[in-house]
Amino acid sequence: MQLSRDANLVGYQPDFGAVFANLDVILAGLVMTFVLAIAAMFSALILGLILALMQMSTWRPLRTIGVAYVQLFRGTPLYIYLFWLYYSFATVSGIRLTELTAGIICLATLYGAYLAEINRGALRAIPSTQSQAGLALGLSPWQNFRHVILPQAVRIVIPPTTNMFAGVIMDTSLVSAIGVAELIRVTRVASSETFRPFEMYTAAGLIYVVVVLGVSGLSAWLERRLSSRDRVALSGSRRLRRGILFGGLRS
């Protein structure tokens, strides 16, 4: 900081050339970010559906496990969970997880809990008359779930799930802490090599904002499209619920 006081006399000359010189490194980091986000999201989708069905099960032990899992993981900060899993897992089981595996497991198990809540809400939102009508038409319970309930629930679930994907992309940035070479990690390395932290971090931040806004824009578009078919207006309370969801999930 002593140095920068002298530098003030000449003024800081930003040089974004350093960013372009390291473009290949930054892109490799971005690819890793996407690998993490997509692998985690894919696993979380499956886990989220299983957990939602568990929570709605009529068999008590299954329901209790489902509810307890979701409550526990919704309260855990991702950052500490990452460190906990990465450093303690080997102590307990003797298996050493790679950074990438640990990162994907953490994101997937955490977002599985968030997605379970969305799925549960959607399954609840289907009127029970739909299920009764299906059964009255002679469908088996599985056929009824598969052909009547699920297609309707999927339509409700798609926009908030897409929004969750934006959250996953943002949260992959935390995985840098255990050493995965994703966007944040590579920009940190590059900025200490080029001595251009301002330019590097500005570039990284802008990349995140563009990607995340793109995905959440897609979510908003899907919501408009899917709801206009149902002629359901995007009411204030609905938007509020989305705000709660999004606010509740940070890190």
Partner 1 sequence: MSLRFDLVLESAGWLAQGLAMTYFVALVSIVVGLALGLIFATARSSSLLILRAPAIVYINFFRGLPLIAFLIWLYFGVTVAFNFQLSALSAGIACLSIQASAYLAEIYRAGLQAIPQAQTQAALSLGLTPWQAFRTVRFPQALRVIFPAIGNEFIGLIKGSALVSVLGVFELMRSTQQRVLFYQLPLEFYTTAALLYIISGIGIGRLFLIIERRMQT
Contact 176, 78 (CB under 8 A): no
Judged by CB, which is closer to partner 1: 144, or 163?
A: 163
Task: Give the Å distances, CA to CA, from 74 to 51, 70, 113, 198.
Answer: 13, 6, 7, 34
Q: What is the per-residue burial (b if ≥16 Cβ within 10 Å, else e) of 94-128?
A: eeebebbbbbbbbbbbbbbbbbbbbbbbbbeebee
User: Is residue 141 a contact residue for partner 1 (CB under 8 A)?
Assistant: no
**Distance of closest approach, residue 90 Cβ to partner 1, in angstroms:** 9
Neighbours of 174 (CB within 10 A): 21
Tokens linked to 20: 């372009």
Q: Can you count the helices (H) and strands (E) in the chain? A: 12, 0
Binding segment (CB under 8 A) for partner 1, from list 1-9, 52-60, 62-70, 223-231: 1-9
CB of 231: closest distance to partner 1 in angstroms?
20
Residue 147 C-beta: closest distance to partner 1, Å? 35
* Span 57-86, contacts to partner 1 by CB under 8 A: 72, 75-81, 83-84
What gap in Å lies between CA 138 and CA 136, rounded to an integer?
Answer: 5
The distance of closest approach from Cβ of residue 140 to partner 1 in the complex, given in angstroms and rounded to an integer, is 40
Q: 54, 66 in Cβ contact below 8 A?
A: yes
Interface region with partner 1, contact rule CB under 8 A, candidates 57-65, 117-125, 133-141, 231-239: 231-239
List contacts with partner 1 (CB under 8 A). Answer: 1, 4-5, 7-8, 12, 14, 72, 75-81, 83-84, 87-88, 91-92, 166, 170-171, 173-174, 176-177, 184, 188, 191, 197-202, 204-205, 208-210, 212-213, 216, 236-237, 239-240, 243-244, 246-251
